[in-house]
Amino acid sequence: MISLNLQNLFALPSAHGVQEAEWYEYGKKLPLFLQKVKNRKQGFYEILDEEDVIQNIEKFGASIKGKYSDIVVLGIGGSALGTIALRDALTQYISPRAPRLQVLDNIDPEAVEQIALSLALEKTLFLVVTKSGETPETVAQYFFFRQKVEAEGLDIRNHFVCITGSKGFLRQEVEKENLTSFPVPENVGGRFSVLTSVGLVPACLIGIDIRALLSGAREIRDQFLSEDFKINIPFQLAVAQFLVAQKGKTQHVFMPYTNALRSFANWFAQLLAESTGKINMSQKNVGLTPLPSIGVTDQHSLLQLFVQGPNDKLIIFVAVETWSTDALIPVPEDTSSWKFLRDTSFGTLLQAEQKATADSLTEEARPNMTLSLPSISPETLGALFFLLEGAKAFLGEFLEINAFNQPGVERSKILTREYLSRKK
Amino acid sequence: MISLNLQNLFALPSAHGVQEAEWYEYGKKLPLFLQKVKNRKQGFYEILDEEDVIQNIEKFGASIKGKYSDIVVLGIGGSALGTIALRDALTQYISPRAPRLQVLDNIDPEAVEQIALSLALEKTLFLVVTKSGETPETVAQYFFFRQKVEAEGLDIRNHFVCITGSKGFLRQEVEKENLTSFPVPENVGGRFSVLTSVGLVPACLIGIDIRALLSGAREIRDQFLSEDFKINIPFQLAVAQFLVAQKGKTQHVFMPYTNALRSFANWFAQLLAESTGKINMSQKNVGLTPLPSIGVTDQHSLLQLFVQGPNDKLIIFVAVETWSTDALIPVPEDTSSWKFLRDTSFGTLLQAEQKATADSLTEEARPNMTLSLPSISPETLGALFFLLEGAKAFLGEFLEINAFNQPGVERSKILTREYLSRKK
């Protein structure tokens, strides 16, 4: 379904690219690393076929059909980025009569107010999403909108649904107020949770086929669990990223050639940054820096740096093979200088530019590779989510870190409490 | 108007931060570097008080008032990013009866179709923006929408306005078809052009006070032209960025704590990447990599990498001091664990988190600095645009490169023509 083309990487001199032999050699370690990943006891690859979870979500979706004009997700980080990616990638698949889906992933007071002003509360459903149930930004948003809903004399049980773990403040609220809730499994971290209730509930409520999403993910999950290097694309991708990083190319640009994946690139950024940016077993600070980008647009923005700046990047192109619509560029007869665009569609031009950009980078010994999707659909998107999650799990083992925690952000949370308490 | 706080940078050990003395020492070179910048004969600092240009734009804006429901910019890179930044930063300042402003900055066939479907062509004005007049993506979009407009029997002179240089295909079209046009000065590059017609025309058409925008920019321009290090904030910023980069921190994160500047971060990314990513006078590949980010959101996404990953980044925070609206977080009386949020507004929480995040980075010897704006307004936005443009001009001289060209992207353009011609 998704193919990974490493030819441009193999074509480079060994200081900058990856030798095919070196890549195969590393591939032999697959069984070892797969075992290490399994030893982490993470759930992201086990949650794709829980029929009861899916049915609960679908039942809830059916039960509220037509009741709301607006869905608002209150959540941040892993509770928001996957949902935004889903919504923006699958616009073509959202049913036209679906409620509008907004995601409030910041506490910017103007943004909070702007969303509040855009809503008719009696027709609004809030999804409060926090795995810990204790995220201050999300809890603050919940307090704010709850007060507004109560002030209008509405029953909060009709307007708040919680997606949260089994402990924490929000779970207590669910019990105290008898709110509808969906679970987040204990062993699935935020940035790996898009295919749990966290992403599936909002997706289902705007009419996206969540079974198709999961079926695409399962296809790659089966690769991910295979000990055969030739078919395990998540492992292949991780090996390529790791070997290039060993050669000093630690900035990994994610550059889809489709507007549909603009927001997806931000989901990828969290996944790569938060999974790999760690202190490893030898007390070394390691990690890969994600750089979200978009083609062809950024050929007119970032490409100059990729071509002539320091050779410290890997460009991961994402190409799409077919489009739901693709108009010809109507070049007027009397314009000789634009002959090369005649009988060319926008999609063909875009694909030619992607290949040209990749090849121009290769000529300058700049490592790049291409992931190809047959099209953008719930299936391929589910597959792409899982492919990148799986690759990150392996990358964590290569880097000798725990890809599933984030100990570095605690200090900022403690200082925030201190500064606010001091003011009082 | 804008202040630059370098205290966290000065507080670091010398391997990771900047010593205040070292920074002052470099500051002595200001007159020399200012002269070098002037020798480039670039126009971006001279175009801020051209009364005739401003009046032409305002006159045009007045003449079409109420005629259009939609403005669509056809443009890419420097022809699009500044306009998107302006629109998204100043939502509070856009007049409610202004036409909707969309920017089509890609040739993705689904995105092209989506915009086409969203328009009533008889009420739509297209701004075709390309300095060279030869950008294939923009010309292709122009052909496409021109055919649609003509197919409806409409006069293209009422639906296309060109913002372009004095030469090239689009300028010929202006002359042949007698289209309204606005100039882009020869000596102002795309990424430095937001304060020319490129950004001012669309801004004016949605009701933004372009005189306020320019007046803010002029305030910083006067600093920029001063030989006094103490008042030249663009030079101070450039020196800090450069000295940190010399210590291996070449990834410069732009992290505003306001949703208003989300898109602005992409404008900054082009400016930094395309200006600095070059082969320098010693044939070395140099350049700073921009990483657009957003607070507090990315504390739950990228911060883990910033704190514990390789120490190769500089975080440039942008803090906002006041908001147009700022609600209190209504913490219920019976929730003891959220006491620290009581009597706290969203803005106060956000500011506390910004400071906490900066301080937590400093504790880990991670270089960071803070730009503070009194608020988001046309004046402060104009100032911020110019501050960053001016700093990049100096940075180019420090790095011994020409900050104003982009020779590295030509090869991809040539290959695109080749691949498309070969198919025929």
> How many angstroms separate the first and last alpha carbons of chain B?
57
CA A304 to each of CA A68, B187, B242, B287: distance values in angstroms, whole numbers, following the listed order: 47, 19, 19, 10
What whole-number distance in Å separates Cα of residue A286 and Cα of residue B304? Answer: 11
Residue A412 to residue B286, Cβ atoms within 8 A: no
Beta bridge mates, B196: none
The residue with tokens 């609206």 is B325
What whole-number distance in Å separates Cα of residue B272 and Cα of residue B337? Answer: 44
Task: Kindly list the residues from chain B whose CB atom is less than 8 angstroms away from the CB atom of residue A353.
Answer: 107, 412, 416
Q: Residue A135 has what pLDDT?
A: 97
What whole-number distance in Å separates Cα of residue A163 and Cα of residue A130? Answer: 7
A328 closest CA partner among A308, A313, A349: A349
What whole-number distance in Å separates Cα of residue A39 and Cα of residue B258? Answer: 41
Q: Residue B422 has what pLDDT?
A: 84
ipTM, 2 dp: 0.98
DSSP secondary structure, B112-171, as one string = HHHHHHT--GGGEEEEEEESSS--HHHHHHHHHHHHHHHHTT--GGGTEEEEE-SSSHHH
Average pLDDT for B217-232 = 98
SS3 A153: coil
A354 closest CA partner among A283, A258, A421: A258
What whole-number distance in Å separates Cα of residue A315 and Cα of residue A293? Answer: 10
Min Cα separation A227/chain B (Å): 30
Catalytic residue among A28, A41, A300, A423: A300
Q: Residue A298 has what pLDDT?
A: 98
Q: Which residue of B has its CA nearest to A409?
A: B304
Q: Residue B312 has what pLDDT?
A: 98
pTM of the model: 0.98
Assess A276–B contact: CB distance below 8 Å, yes or no.
Answer: yes
Task: Kindly list the residues from chain B whose CB atom is less than 8 angstroms away from the CB atom of residue A114.
Answer: 91
CA B99 to each of CA A125, A357, B7, B70, B205: distance values in angstroms, whole numbers, following the listed order: 30, 36, 44, 5, 8
Average pLDDT for B366-392 = 98
How many H helices and E strands in chain A?
Answer: 16, 12
Tokens of B103: 């920017």
Q: Which residue of A has its CA nearest to B353?
A: A416
What whole-number distance in Å separates Cα of residue B57 and Cα of residue B61? Answer: 6
- Rg of chain B on CA atoms, in Å: 23
> How many angstroms separate the first and last alpha carbons of chain A?
57
Of A92, A364, A420, the CB nearest to B352: A420
CA B306 to each of CA A215, B364, B366, B368, B370: distance values in angstroms, whole numbers, following the listed order: 35, 10, 8, 10, 16
For chain A, positions 76-95, list CB contacts with chain B under 8 A: 76-78, 80-81, 91-92
The residue with tokens 């706080």 is B5
Widest distance between CA atoms in chain A: 74
SS3 B373: strand
Sheet strand arrangement including B313-320: B3-5, B368-373, B313-320, B251-256, B289-292
Are A138 and A80 in contact by the 8 Å Cβ rule? The answer is no
Instruction: Indicate which of A246, A266, A305 best probes the interface with B, i.e. most B CBs within 10 Å of its own CB.
Output: A305
Are B183 and B166 in contact by the 8 Å Cβ rule? The answer is yes
Tokens of B336: 């003891």
Beta bridge mates, A314: A252
CA A102 to each of CA A79, A105, A116, A194, B103: distance values in angstroms, whole numbers, following the listed order: 13, 9, 11, 16, 21
Are B141 and B74 in contact by the 8 Å Cβ rule? The answer is yes
Percent over 70 (pLDDT), chain B: 100
Are A31 and A227 in contact by the 8 Å Cβ rule? The answer is yes
Low-confidence ranges of chain A (pLDDT < 70): 423-424
Dihedral sign, CA of A408, A410, A416, A422? negative
Residue type for position A34? L
A365 closest CA partner among A10, A12, A19: A12
What whole-number distance in Å separates Cα of residue A125 and Cα of residue B369? Answer: 40
Are B101 and B71 in contact by the 8 Å Cβ rule? The answer is yes
Q: Residue B95 has what pLDDT?
A: 85
Catalytic residue among A25, A167, A413, A418: A413
Min Cα separation A210/chain B (Å): 22
Assess A259–B contact: CB distance below 8 Å, yes or no.
Answer: yes
What whole-number distance in Å separates Cα of residue A146 and Cα of residue A134? Answer: 16
What whole-number distance in Å separates Cα of residue A264 and Cα of residue A384? Answer: 10
Please give the domain boundaries of chain A with CATH numbers for all domains. Answer: 3-40+225-408 (3.40.50.10490), 47-211 (3.40.50.10490)
Residues of B identified as active-site: 274, 300, 413
Q: Residue A155 has what pLDDT?
A: 98
Residue A143 to residue B347, Cβ atoms within 8 A: no
Of B108, B287, B352, the CB nearest to A259: B108
Q: Residue B335 has what pLDDT?
A: 82
- Rg of chain A on CA atoms, in Å: 23
Is the pLDDT score of B424 beyond 70? no
Q: Residue A163 has what pLDDT?
A: 98
Catalytic residue among A274, A379, A389, A397: A274
The residue with tokens 């490592």 is A367
Strands A160-164 and A124-130: parallel
Instruction: Indicate which of B108, B176, B345, B414 best probes the interface with A, i.e. most A CBs within 10 Å of its own CB.
Output: B108
Summarize pLDDT for B264-295 with one digit per residue, the tens: 999 999 999 999 999 999 999 999 999 999 99
Task: Kindly list the residues from chain B whose CB atom is less than 8 angstroms away from the CB atom of residue A349.
Answer: 107, 136-137, 140, 416, 420
Q: Residue A424 has what pLDDT?
A: 62
DSSP assignment letter at B50? -
Task: Kindly list the residues from chain B whose CB atom is less than 8 angstroms away from the CB atom of residue A104.
Answer: none
Min Cα separation A298/chain B (Å): 7
Task: Kindly list the residues from chain A whose CB atom is less than 8 angstroms away from the CB atom of residue B91.
Answer: 114
Summarize pLDDT for B136-172 with one digit per residue, the tens: 999 999 999 999 999 999 999 999 999 999 999 999 9
Q: Residue B133 has what pLDDT?
A: 97
Min Cα separation B341/chain A (Å): 7
Tokens of A305: 């740096």
